[in-house]
Amino acid sequence: MPSQVISDRYELVQPLSHGGMGDVWRGYDRVLDRPVAVKLVRQAAIATPAMAEEFAKRFKREARVTARIQHPGVPQVHDAVLDASYERLYLVMELVDGTPLGDYIDPHQPLPVSWAIAVAAQVCTVLSHAHAVPVVHRDLKPANILVAEDGTVKVLDFGIAAVLRTDVTRITATGSPVGTSQYMAPEQVQGGRVAPQSDLYALGCILHELCCGRPLFDGDGQYQLMRQHVEAAPVPLRLLRDDVPEALEELVLHLLRKRPERRPADAQEVYERLLPFLPPPGRAPAPDEVGPVGTPDPTGIYRQPYAPRPRTGTQPSHIPPIHAGPSAPLAATAARLREDIKAARAQANALLKEERFAQAAEVLGEVVEPAALALGSDNGEVLDLRMERAAVRFLGGDYRRALPEFDALAGAFSRTAGPTSEKARSCRTQAAHCRAELGQVTLALQEFDAVLRQVRAVDSDASDEAIELRRAIGFLELSEGRLVEARRMLEPLHADMCVVYGPDDEDTVEIAEAMARIRLTLDGSAHQEAPEA
C-alpha cells in the first residue's frame, strides 16, 4: 500500500501515537532525506468560509510563533501544512526518539526524588524560553513530555492548544473540553485568561504525580476533576511520601495555588528553587537514586553537563539489541519472511536510485529484527541484511551510525566464517573508511594495515583487495601531510598497478599524479633546506 504524501514532500510512514488532539506519524522528508514527525491535528468542524479563513490565519500564526522557541528541549518545527479544505492540518517537526514521561509514573514504585526534580527543572528551562516569546503551552502533561536517550527532556505540542482554542471550556460547559483536565489550571477550567502561571500550575500537577506516582486529583469523571481543580485542596506531598524535602513540598503547594497571581512569578523562580536539590556535576547516583530500568536518566545532564557523546561501542544505544533463541517468538512464517525481505530490498533499491539513503536504511531495518527473531542473529541472511543497511548508511554519509554496525558485523562474520573470511575483512575495511571520515585517522590506518596483512597472508599483494587497501592507506597518509609515508606506500603500488591494470588506467594515472605532487613538494623542501654554496 503506497504511503500517504503530504504537500508532495512528506510521507506518512508509520503511526506513532493517537491522542485527543491528533495522531502522530513517523514521516519522511523526501527533499532533505531525513525522518520527521508529522502531527495530524484534529479540529472542530468548520461550517462557514469565514470560519475556515479565521482558522487558517490562526494556524499559520501559531505555527510561526511556536517555531520561534529556540531551545533544545523543544522539537524544531520544520513546516506547517493546511490542506485546501481546511479540514486537515499538519505540523512537521523534528523526530525525537525518547520515552514518554508517563512511562516513568508507577504508584507501586515512585521515582527517585532527584529524577522528578530533574524533569521539572528541565521543563522550567523550556517554559522560560517559551514564555519569553511569549507562548503559553496550555496543555502541559506527561503525554506531552519525552525523555530522550541522553536524559534531556523534550516538551511537545507547543501552540497546538492555542490553535484549537482549548481555553474556552468552562466548568459549566456540557461538551467535552479539548485538553487534559487532570492538569488544567482553575482559570483555564473556568474560561479565564490563560497565562504562563497556567503552565506552572500544570507543572505542579506533574511534579506531584512524579513524586508520589498518582495524579493530584482522582475525581470520578471529567466534571468532578475540573471542580476539584477549582475548589479542592491538594494533599501535601510529605503526607504521601516522607522522603520528600519540606522545601519541595512547599514549592509544589505554591505552584498549585488556585489564583494565578499567588503562584511563583515565573519559571525562572521555580528553577531556582529546584536547583538546590539537583545533583552536582561529577557526583555518581546513590543507590536510592537509581530509577526504572531501561528508562533514560534525566539527572544525567546535571551530573555530566555538556558531556561529549558516549564512546561508540559495538552496538549503538539507538539500535535495539537483537536477541535470538528458542524462546524468541516467531516473527513470521518462513514464506512470509522471505517475501518481506524481498520487498524490503526492492523498495530500498528503488529509494537508493533516488538517493534517499536514510529512508532506504529504515526500510531494511524494519525486516532485520523479525528476521533475527525467526532465523537467529548470526544467520547469514540476517547478517547480509545488516551489512546492506550499514552500506546504505555509509553511502548516505551517516558514518557515525554505520561504524558500530560494521564493527559488530566484523565480529559476527569472524565467529561464523572465520576472522580472515572475505566478509569479515570487508566489514573491517568499511569500518576503517568510516573512522577515516570521522577523523579517527590513526585508528583507521591501524585497521587498514591489519586487514592488508590478512589479505597478504591469503592472497597476492597485487590482488584487487590488496591494491584498494594500499591505495586507501597511501591517500590517507597523504591527506594528513605524511608525505614520506605516503610515498613509501604509493611508489610500489604504482608499479604493481602498471603491471595489473596498465599505465593508462584511470586509477593508475591518479596514483602517478599523486606521486608527482609528493615528489614536487619533497624536492622543493629539500632545495629550501640545502645550504647556500
Catalytic residues: 139
52: left (phi over 0), alpha (psi -120 to 50) or beta: alpha
Quote the cell numbers at residue 492. Answer: 610500489
DSSP 286-324: PGGG---TTS--TTHHHHSTTPPPPPP-SS-TTSPPP--
Is the separation of the CB atoms in 201 and 260 below 8 Å?
A: yes
- Please check whether residue 225 is in contact with residue 180, taking contact to mean a CB–CB distance below 8 angstroms: no
186 upstream amide cis, omega within 30 of 0: no
Neighbours of 208 (CB within 10 A): 25
- Alpha-carbon distance values, 489 to 85, 368, 398, 453, 468 (Å): 66, 40, 29, 14, 12
The secondary structure of 157-215 as a DSSP string is: -TTHHHHHTGGG--TT-SSPPSS-GGG--HHHHTT----HHHHHHHHHHHHHHHHHSS-
CA 512 to chain centroid: 45
Q: What is the 3-state secondary structure (H, E, C) of 17-57?
A: EECCCEEEEEEEECCCCEEEEEEEECCCCCCCHHHHHHHHH
Phi–psi pair at 87, nearest 5 degrees: -95, -15
Query: Which candidate, 425, 427, 436, 512, places its Cα nearest to that of 465?
Result: 425
Strands 34-41 and 89-93, bridge-based pairing: antiparallel
Name 460's Cβ contacts closer than 8 Å, sequence gap at least 6.
466
- To which H or E segment does residue 89 belong? strand 89-93
* Cell numbers that stand for 271 in this block: 528553577
Positive/negative CA dihedral, 121, 125, 126, 132 = positive
d(CA 155, CA 70): 12
